Structure 1
Amino acid sequence: MKKEYGNKQVYFVGGGIASLAGAAYLVRDCDFPGQNIHIIEEMKILGGSNDGAGDAEHGYVIRGGRMLNDETYENTWDLLMSIPSLDHPEKSVREEIIEFDTSNPTHANARLVNQSGEVEDVLSMGFDMADRLAMGKLIITPEEKMGKARINDWFGPHFFTTNFWYMWATTFAFQPWHSAVELKRYMIRFVHEFPRIQTLEGVTRTPYNQYDSIILPMHKYLEGFGVDFTLKCTVTDLQFKDGDGITVTQMNVLRQGAPDVINISEDDIVIVTNGSMTEGSSLGSMTSAPRLNGKGSSWKLWENIAAKKTGLGNPSSFDDHVDGSKWESFTVTFQDSKFFDLMEKFTRNRAGTGALVTFKDSSWLMSVVLAFQPHFRNQPEHVKVFWGYGLYPDNVGDFVKKKMSECTGEEIMEELIGHLHFEAHKDEIMATANCIPCMMPYITSQFMPRLNSDRPKVVPEGSTNLAFVGQYCEIPDDVVFTEEYSIRAARTAVYTLLGINRPIEPINQHQYDVRTLFTSFITSFR
């Protein structure tokens, strides 16, 4: 029987993948009228942290790249089965991705590189018995007993010199001072990846960057249902009904700078992306370094509403520790294939079949990855684009004696050429290189040590019409810094607030599979 919704409106705050997924679940699973769904986004473009922009002339930019995983992204794959491909409408985005990934399987041959410019043998994890015991203890200790423990509270100095740590930390962007609870969740959620961490064979790639491959098809799908997209509009505050419980009555917004109010009836729903890992990001150029910016509207909105009601989380655990959550990425556009030719020879991987190449002795802890080309829909055939990042932007470089955060794009390329020992080809490489650095102050803020109550539940206790989605709500057992976390949150929010009795794809419990456990145990002794 078709549900009658009357004049019910649903407002999504933020135009990232969580809001797009929530809107898709509304039209797909709830028969909700598209014209009553409103996605409000501050920027002039949708996609949030799933970005990909630029052109061959001015250079391309991807602030980061999300890795997908075939066995752990349960709701992501279910959703993408429903979204038609832009290029082949008879296929789903899911089918398109799997077809592409099957043709270009990942198998990294050069995961770690040492200071001599040699590829390291990384079959051994490098653990000693103390590391193995600490890992075992981490896995079995309940989260509530761990509190705000950091990874370096659990492991001794040796652990942070192992092949495992270099590979794991750079794959998922963990730092020693990040939350031990988050590492524990990752170890359990990706236990099946542990035996192949050195090749990253479990990574599933999209044909283009995530904006072109996932966000654009989702946007087009929702447009077909008449969903309302309000861009360049900032939500600054929510007003609540007096008394106990949580019922939103008003949204305060700035429409292109002018204050306005959206009245929310008790029947309406408000779904907020609280916080943002890419907020405050700043771009540099070949001749300028990026700036370090501070809090923007999504953090301020969360701070405003958390101060009004209990149960809405504690943003301070995430947004007040920029020194612990920032790092810097860079996107490089070439007008020829010289650098790619050298890299393919060095790594023994065709572009798009390797994975992160990490310079383990680099003081910036720098990694680069060459995607399949073209990586952008509008990328000409002769143009090549790759992405890289440094986890320690405040350290002085090994070849350029400056902090990464103070370096221009040209200086970042010099440092990279030094680590690769490509000096003989430097002039040729630099002749067409356009390296655009990007400083991201909050990029790993979701990994900062926290208490369980610091993240609000998807639908907080006592809420009648408010839910949280994105990377800073609480989903037991799942892992942040993934597409799946945002999409699972969106599905939970929509089904719960609309009273839809449908199953949500459960989290695969690989940690209870005897073969997986045995293989992982053997791997720890490699």
Structure 2
Amino acid sequence: MEAIVVKEEDKNKQVYFVGGGIASLAGAAFLVRDCDFPGIGIHIIEEMNILGGSNDGAGSEEHGYVIRGGRMLNDETYENTWDLLMSIPSLDHPGKSVREEIIAFDDANPTHSNARLVNGNGEVVDVMSMGFNMADRLAMGKLIITPEEKMGKARISDWFGPHFFTTNFWYMWATTFAFQPWHSAVELKRYMIRFMHEFPRIQTLEGVTRTPYNQYDSIILPMKKYLEDHGVDFTLKCTVTDLDFKEGDGITVTCMHVVRCGAEELIAINEEDLVIITNGSMTEGSSLGSMTSAPRLKEKGSSWKLWDRIAAKRPGFGNPSSFDDHIEESKWESFTVTFSDTVFFDLMEQFSRNRAGTGALVTFKDSSWLMSVVLAYQPHFRNQPEHIRVFWGYGLYPDKEGDFVKKKMSDCTGEEIMTELLGHLHFDEHKEAIMATANCIPCMMPFITAQFMPRAARDRPKVVPDGSTNLAFIGQFCEIPDDVVFTEEYSVRAARIAVYTLLGVNKPIAPINKYQYDVRTLFTSFVTSFR
């Protein structure tokens, strides 16, 4: 590694990232790569004993594997993510970047779903038609052209009539991005504009770019190695509980309150130091069940409490209550299933007409849980033995009674969730063989769609609040005009904005592609609405 030349003004400066998710890792990488900032002055503070935040993936053959959620990448809209990953060396292919590694893998295993929706009879639905009527089309057009400031805290159900929520489009769009009818109409509008180029192929999800393994193994581990090689400090099992601010009108952090190993500590923040916070968390409070137990529904944890606490101290820090006080509307449940044979995978590949890793979400549109599953390319974990198979699924309505298991999904064990899934697939004659090696681990996530909750314009703080000298917000709960939350790109873009702004770096940030101004995209989207 080349010797680091430290700028005079950065010799004593320290940068503290609160939270160890992809936003903080990206921010640290931008500091190293674009700001010539010494890694020894960068500190990433994480409450858990592992980095990665919501980009998780762990387990073993013996205990089963778990992915709380899967993140789908997009080759045309993740502008800053791809820029960053071009600079992160691959762990498996010397001389290649993570970006090049992902694209090579995706080119070899392109996505083209042949079974996007399945009806109650276990039949694959023809989804070439979006299923719109004229009222749906008019409402969609009005949504796209109405300024956000005129929409306020409108819900999607305020904008569209009941028919819209029975269309093929809604089932596919809602389960691809995890939208609910009561979520923010503004967020749906942003998605419709940002992914307008994907609208004509939503039935195949050809625009999805997949990583060779789960995101923790494919993205987080290479980023961690890159930062370690540059001397970045990772402080794990340490919780930031509060911030103190300099008196006066501006915003300057002077002290961080932390709890480490059960003991309270203070970290003094000098005026030249920077504090960059991931405020809020989609996966905080997650709870795992097992084949014989259901997960528990938990409440707020440290990330939300920290945001609540500092938002009460200063204006301009947003309104966390819009996001963290609506668990009944922001929760859903996922499940990860581990098999020690290929029986289920063989049946699913035959049923879906997709080899594992080339399909997409298979959604059971008549499922009372609105359940979806997806089979990734195997192995999906670095330590996964050759004979092991792992897939992931989720239900958007965990409080509804199942169609085959007469219990709420949230009350079901892993065995009962598998029974419900096999019922929808009509795999009855193979049930005994499938269940013989199945290890289904359910995961309840109380805040997983909190970022979609209806909100006012200022409920999310700016990345760098007005008047701030050393504080920034990153992650899914800061405000980036025109961009879409629940994406890797949102976190990476926020981190880049935060770092460049606080350090006064005059370098370009990859702009958001404006597909709504492309005539061809507009025309193909219009035609698609009449399919």
Whole-Å Cα distance in 2 between the matches of residues 261 and 415 of structure 1? 50
Given the alignment, which residue of 424, 438, 441 partners 2:443?
438
Matched, 1:91 2:121: no
Whole-Å Cα distance in 1 between the matches of residues 72 and 457 of structure 2? 26
Whole-Å Cα distance in 2 between the matches of residues 150 and 89 of structure 1? 48
Matched, 1:233 2:238: yes
Whole-Å Cα distance in 2 between the matches of residues 403 and 76 of structure 1? 38
Whole-Å Cα distance in 1 between the matches of residues 516 and 219 of structure 2? 29
Q: CA deviation at 1:88?
A: 1.0
Matched, 1:220 2:202: no
Matched, 1:501 2:506: yes
Whole-Å Cα distance in 2 between the matches of residues 343 and 444 of structure 1? 28
- Write the letter of the residue equivalent to 2:36: D
- Write the letter of the residue equivalent to 1:397: G
Whole-Å Cα distance in 2 between the matches of residues 108 and 440 of structure 1? 27
- Counterpart position of 2:396: 391
Given the alignment, which residue of 305, 325, 336 partners 2:341?
336
Q: CA deviation at 1:256?
A: 1.8
- Secondary structure of the 2:239 match is strand
Q: CA deviation at 1:306?
A: 0.3
Given the alignment, which residue of 190, 194, 203 partners 1:198?
203
User: Does the 8 Å CA contact 2:6/2:37 hold for their aligned counterparts?
Assistant: no
- Write the letter of the residue equivalent to 1:111: R
- TM value normalised by structure 1: 1.00
- Counterpart position of 1:345: 350
Q: CA deviation at 1:2?
A: 6.9
- Counterpart position of 2:35: 30
Whole-Å Cα distance in 1 between the matches of residues 335 and 284 of structure 2? 16
Whole-Å Cα distance in 1 between the matches of residues 256 and 407 of structure 2? 45
Q: How many residue pairs are counted as aligned between the two chains?
A: 526
**Percent of pairs identical after alignment?**
84
- Secondary structure of the 2:472 match is strand
Matched, 1:57 2:49: no
What do the CA deviations read for 1:164-195 (whole angstroms, capped 9, x no partner)? 00000000000000000000000000000000
- Counterpart position of 1:157: 162
- Counterpart position of 1:124: 129
- Write the letter of the residue equivalent to 2:183: H
User: Does the 8 Å CA contact 2:6/2:38 hold for their aligned counterparts?
Assistant: no
Matched, 1:260 2:261: no
4+ residue runs over 6 A deviation: none
- Counterpart position of 2:328: 323
- Secondary structure of the 1:200 match is coil
Give structure 1 stretches of 5+ with no counterpart: none
- Counterpart position of 2:7: 3
Q: CA deviation at 1:452?
A: 1.1
- Counterpart position of 1:492: 497
Given the alignment, which residue of 33, 43, 49 partners 1:44?
49
Whole-Å Cα distance in 2 between the matches of residues 6 and 334 of structure 1? 52
Matched, 1:364 2:359: no
Matched, 1:173 2:166: no
What do the CA deviations read for 1:374-397 (whole angstroms, capped 9, x no partner)? 000000000000000000000000
- Secondary structure of the 1:454 match is coil
- TM value normalised by structure 2: 0.99
Whole-Å Cα distance in 1 between the matches of residues 176 and 467 of structure 2? 38
Equivalence map 1:419-498=2 (5 Å): 419-498=424-503
Whole-Å Cα distance in 1 between the matches of residues 62 and 320 of structure 2? 40
- Write the letter of the residue equivalent to 2:208: V
Matched, 1:103 2:97: no
Matched, 1:286 2:303: no
- Counterpart position of 1:296: 301
- Write the letter of the residue equivalent to 2:7: K
Whole-Å Cα distance in 2 between the matches of residues 197 and 258 of structure 1? 51
Q: CA deviation at 1:274?
A: 0.1
Whole-Å Cα distance in 2 between the matches of residues 116 and 134 of structure 1? 31
- Write the letter of the residue equivalent to 1:3: K
